[in-house]
Amino acid sequence: MAESPDAQRSGDDGNGRFLARLIDLLPYLLVMAAAYLADRLSKQWAAGLGPEPQIVIPNVLSWTRVLNRGVAFGLLQGLGPVVGWLTIVVLIGFFVYLVRLPRAQWLVRFGVALLIGGAAGNLVDRLTAGAVIDFIAVRGFPYIFNVSDILLNTGVVIMLIGSYLQGSPEEPGLSPETSTSSEPEH
């Protein structure tokens, strides 16, 4: 297959576009990796906790290790394999969304990267151990959670804030400059 004349003139090839896109995504790939690593390291540490809660801040925070065989807040207990496969599909969807977001949507992209990194941590737990290690207990909050849950929720909040502040990406071809409306301009 021959290159188009435009590609020949610009010296642009598929590898060049791929490399440019990879460089553009690098900060978000690093955020994903850091989020995943923070979750994994915290769970390795939590796996060594004894059965009794450890008070960190009296009447506020304790480390209380439990195994969660469901999803967030212990819902859907016993559906581990289904939840695992569903999580894989959702993660792929969010990654495609991240790749397709315009560069100007950097805050939304950051939120998606946190969400993916956190969700990947819980996914690995589900696939390897059949359960997720939760260990953060906050007085007055009825559920025990983990770093991944914090990353997921923070990612969603950042995505929402980014969407509000930066607007939503427009559909290709529907921007005012490229509108094909038949109405006359005033």
Active site residue 24: no
Structure token digits, residue 142: 């009825």
Structure token digits, residue 166: 């930066």
The conformation of residue 136, written as its DSSP 8-state character, comes to E
Question: Which of 24, 39, 125, 149 is an active site residue?
Answer: 149
Residue with tokens 């997921």: 152
Compute the half-sphere exposure of residue 128: CA atoms within 13 Å on the CB side of its CA: 9
Phi, psi of 16 (to 5 degrees): -65, -40
- For residues 36 and 47, give the distance between their C-alpha atoms in angstroms, rounded to a whole number: 16
- Cβ count near 119 (within 10 Å): 24
DSSP bridge pairs for 61: 57, 138
Active site residue 12: no
The conformation of residue 4, written as its DSSP 8-state character, comes to P
- By annotation, the residues acting in catalysis are 134, 149
